[in-house]
Structure 1
């Protein structure tokens, strides 16, 4: 997988975390400590989940090698459609200062489920993990940190549109994988 594809994938995966980070930034009292904590959790889980997905997918890879491009296309497409669908829902708006460790863990897992599916596709396509997980984790960390500060400045203006862009990017990558392997 080339660097541009990995970067686009990372941005697409980070959109859920970015969107949630914007909602966290809506709290006036959300400071650098909160922003860094949110970014570390979201970035860490986005890097961990593809590893877990890859490990699960490796067990199935020998059975699915001929179907790998289709599986990647379907998984990325479903995640992309899910992100677009969820962009039309109204997110919960808890204040940053009452964000507990339990809530942060829940949000971190919830925003990184799609990264697990991507890890499964990495296993099916026999893609090395080190570079993608580092890039995915860093991109998510940075976008989550920026998201908190954007939320402080502009609130909900762009929130649902960001998830739509992320969903479209994931669907496009799924098509790209499918076309590269069919042609």
Structure 2
């Protein structure tokens, strides 16, 4: 038996949502890329962000059937708090110089924390989508591909911008992460 083909309107809606969620990954990748980052690390970070952009909305869709309002707010607050902490640490590290260990995207913990903070809004959207019937496979694949592509574009652009602005790149990247964390918490 063949699966039903999603309606054109559903595909457009999912694509717009995927791009909107990917914009956060782009913006935060831009901030992280300003620290100076190797191409191999850009690929690794983008793949993990893409993976989280698949897993988080999928988990959210399953949870959305039970407690959507409560978990959506908690997830957004947790993501905002993580971004504020990461951004503050980056700004502090850039001011203090070499004596302070900065957030390290090359460690498993650092990679997971950054990817989770970028993808937490996908969980919130998944919680909301869990209350509606739709093509879950199409949705999570669109979210994952958008997260991967947008984070890669942001990291690459940030890496190139960092070459222009020099040592202030990490501080500017930290301010970007702080701003997005505040946005998640207060807007």
Q: TM-score range by the shorter chain?
A: 0.5 to 0.7
Once the two structures are TM-superposed, the CA of residue 38 in structure 1 deviates from its matched residue by 0.7
Native 8 Å contact 1:25 1:96 kept in 2: no
RMSD: 3.7
Among candidates 20, 29, 38, match of residue 12 of structure 1 = 20
Q: Distance in 2 between matches of 1:96 and 1:148?
A: 15
Once the two structures are TM-superposed, the CA of residue 150 in structure 1 deviates from its matched residue by 0.8
Q: Deviations over 1:14-72 (max 9, x none)?
A: 233222211221233x22211001101111101111111112223x2xxx9xxx9xx6x
* Greater gyration radius: 2
Match of 1:152 in 2: 159
Match of 1:113 in 2: 120
Superposition pairs of residues 36-51 of structure 1, within 5 angstroms: 36-51=43-58
Native 8 Å contact 2:53 2:143 kept in 1: yes
TM-aligned CA distance change 1:112 to 1:23, over 3 Å:
same
- The runs of 5 or more residues in structure 1 that have no matched partner are 172-183
Native 8 Å contact 1:24 1:148 kept in 2: yes
Native 8 Å contact 1:22 1:149 kept in 2: yes
Match of 2:30 in 1: 22
Superposition pairs of residues 79-118 of structure 1, within 5 angstroms: 92-93=89-90, 99-118=106-125
41-50 or 90-99, which deviates more: 90-99
TM-aligned CA distance change 1:3 to 1:35, over 3 Å:
same
Number of aligned residues: 149
TM-aligned CA distance change 1:91 to 1:133, over 3 Å:
farther
Secondary structure (helix, strand or coil) at the match of 1:138 reads helix
Native 8 Å contact 1:22 1:151 kept in 2: yes
Do residues 142 (structure 1) and 149 (structure 2) align? yes
Q: Distance in 2 between matches of 1:152 and 1:110?
A: 20
Match of 2:130 in 1: 123
